[in-house]
Amino acid sequence: MSGSELAYSDAGSGPAVVLLHGYPFDRSMWREQVDFLTAHRYRIIAPDLRGFGETVAQTSVCEPSAPGHKLKSVPLNEADRTITSMADMARDVATLMDKLEIVDAAICGLSMGGYVAFEFVHLFPTRARALVLAGTRAPADNEQEKQARAQQAEQMLAKGMGDLAGATLPKLLAAGTLTEKPGVVGRVREMILRADPRGAAAAQRGMAARRDYSGDLPGIKVPVLIIVGRQDPIRPVTDAEFMHRGLSDSRLRIIEEAAHMTNTEQPEIFNRALQKFLGTAVV
Ligand code: MLT
């Protein structure tokens, strides 16, 4: 990790599950999954990926966000902020697992976290016991998408995260969530607004440069759970179906009343799907 370390939560005991957040979020998006899975005898590791959450800060000790959650971080290398590749993030996760003496784990990523999960299983095939790919996709960006990311990175650096929050909330959350779950809306908005534009911009550039993972699909030999929100306009059901067709051992769970933030919009349904999958794939 070239001198940097991640802030992370480490809770529970049992088979290890690593939760990788989306963009531009942080590990707090997994709150309901941490609570649920630790109660069901799993050890949950949830890092703030490079440039996000408390990993941004030059801190040595962070306050716990919830009782029993152990958080630690150390300085982030300034030079890492220009571009953070998905492979950088995957290597960070492996280094964190080394530090925690975790040989292998189920790797669960949402959206950007899914890209990191693809890189992780590619770089460290023996360390992923199973994958959960939520709201993500295998193909790389096209030129138009890459340009949009470059523009967004510049805008965030110039003006902060406010515009992004306004523009993306209606895509991240289903119409029903937006009208009926103000707590979820507020929580997602807050996560975006508190993201460090430098970390977010570096990750945007990293996502623009990411590989096409489509060719990796047939070579992934571990069990995979694909989760997608029926109303997700960012990574729609067709992306999930594409991965499902390419993988040799996958199951697809479509969550009807959710868009992109399936785990936060419908935590009970997401958790039950996760529990059922982990019960067969990991234990
Ligand atoms: C995310 O939620 O992580 C992003 O939508 C991923 C992306 O921009 O491709």
Arithmetic mean of pLDDT, 53-67: 51
Pocket test for ligand 1, best of 25, 112, 191, 213 (most atoms within 8 A of CB): 112
Cα–Cα distance measured from residue 232 to residue 177, given in angstroms and rounded to the nearest whole number: 12
Atom nearest to 234 CA in ligand 1: 5
- pLDDT of 209 over the 50 cut: yes
Backbone region of residue 239 per phi and psi (left: phi > 0; alpha: psi in -120 to 50; beta: other values): alpha
Cα–Cα distance measured from residue 119 to residue 162, given in angstroms and rounded to the nearest whole number: 30
Q: Which of 47, 261, 113 is nearest to 269 (CA)?
A: 261
Task: List strand residue ranges (DSSP E) for the chain, in order.
Answer: 8-11, 16-20, 43-47, 105-110, 128-134, 224-229, 250-255
pLDDT at 3: 37
Please indicate whether residue 208, judged by its CB atom, sits closer than 6 Å to ligand 1: no
Task: For 116, list phi and psi in degrees, rounded to 5.
Answer: -65, -40
Omega into 233 within 30° of 0, i.e. cis?
no
Atom nearest to 260 CA in ligand 1: 2
- pLDDT of 195 over the 90 cut: yes
- pLDDT of 1 over the 80 cut: no
Cα–Cα distance measured from residue 227 to residue 252, given in angstroms and rounded to the nearest whole number: 6
Helix ranges restricted to H, 67-196: 86-99, 112-123, 143-159, 162-172, 175-180, 182-194
- pLDDT of 196 over the 50 cut: yes
Please indicate whether residue 188, judged by its CB atom, sits closer than 6 Å to ligand 1: no
The one-character DSSP state at 40 is T
pLDDT one-digit tens code per residue, 92-149: 999 999 999 999 999 999 999 999 999 999 999 999 999 999 999 999 999 999 999 9
- pLDDT of 66 over the 80 cut: no
Please indicate whether residue 22, judged by its CB atom, sits closer than 6 Å to ligand 1: yes
Please indicate whether residue 25, judged by its CB atom, sits closer than 6 Å to ligand 1: no
Cα–Cα distance measured from residue 176 to residue 180, given in angstroms and rounded to the nearest whole number: 6
Atom nearest to 235 CA in ligand 1: 5
Angle between helices 112-123 and 197-208 (to 10 degrees): 60
pLDDT at 65: 41
Amino acid present at 116? V
Amino acid present at 224? V
Please indicate whether residue 112, judged by its CB atom, sits closer than 6 Å to ligand 1: yes
Which positions ≥6 away from 220 have C-beta within 8 Å?
121, 131, 247, 248
pTM (predicted TM-score): 0.91
Q: Which of 23, 28, 66 is nearest to 172 (CA)?
A: 23
Residue 49 CA to ligand 1 centre (angstroms) = 13
Nearest CA to ligand 1 atom 7: 112
Query: How buried is residue 256: exposed, middle or buried, by Cβ count under 10 Å (0-12/13-18/19+)?
Result: exposed
